[in-house]
Amino acid sequence: MYNFRNLNILTVGCVVLLLAKNHYFIPVVHWGIYLIIIIGLYTFAVVLGCIKISLSFFLPVYCNAKTQEKVVALSFDDGPDDKYTPLILEILKKYNVPATFFCIGKHIKGNEQLIKRMHDEGHAIGNHSYTHNFWFDVYSTKSMLAEMKYTDDDIKAIIGQKPLLFRPPYGVTNPNLSKAIKIGGYSPIGWSIRSMDTIAKNERKLLEGITEKINPGDIILLHDNISITASILSSLIEKIQQRGYRIIRLDKMLKLEVYV
């Protein structure tokens, strides 16, 4: 299994073999060359594990449901947004479709009614850090936990419950975040379909890029602070349903507790 623990074991084994200088296994080449190769491969593997959340490299991450049932889940990041979140909520209400909103804590102030509306209309609310800062991934475990708690506290003040679902900013994981998630008791949530709606310019291509990839148990990553997402959401829901899929909340699909 490709994960941080096994990579470290393999790397240590390679270094021990190198130090043993057993020429039956290691051709006669300067040991420094092997060391450079080992360090390079190790660095590449760790970076890949950090940025590719579906690998569950540092800790198990829920990126889809293991099912043959034709169900998928919609998730929205980076809100609440006073302009586009209401439009998205209206569309979800029209089609009676539930979703999960991973909210950034600093966006909650002034948008408390949107959080309440999400909850009242049957959507799940998750934690997406407080600042979503570019440097979040180099924070200490303590600083990460502080951000998570600030967002938890703001959400709990509105709906009376603390969220248990956490989606890492940028989908990046590392050892510090792994510790923070475990200490905080969160369920880490990734995705299996990344819509790329944050950079999409063409509605048709965005829509096709999502619907052509759909498989049972998929978690679709969208954003509720993007104009194009609000524009294609009705068509997306219709196309998913036309293919015989049901859209359910990801916590129901994954059989996870959403609040405590």
Going from the N-terminus, what domains does the chain have, and what CATH number goes with each? 4-51 (no CATH), 71-254 (3.20.20.370)
- What's the pLDDT score for residue 88? 98
List the catalytic residue out of 119, 123, 128, 223: 223
Q: List the single range of 29-43, 68-82, 99-113 with lowest mean pLDDT.
A: 29-43
User: Is 223 assigned a catalytic role?
Assistant: yes
pTM for this one? 0.92
Mean pLDDT of 1-15: 80
List the catalytic residue out of 77, 218, 224, 251: 77
User: Is 77 assigned a catalytic role?
Assistant: yes
Distance linking the first and last C-alpha atoms of the chain: 32
Chain segment 171-221, per-residue pLDDT in tens: 999 999 999 999 999 999 999 999 999 999 999 999 999 999 999 999 999
Q: How far is it, in rounded angstroms, from Cα 80 to Cα 227?
A: 13
Q: Which amino acid is at 240?
A: I
- What's the pLDDT score for residue 254? 98
- What's the pLDDT score for residue 13? 79
Report whether pLDDT(234) > 60. Answer: yes
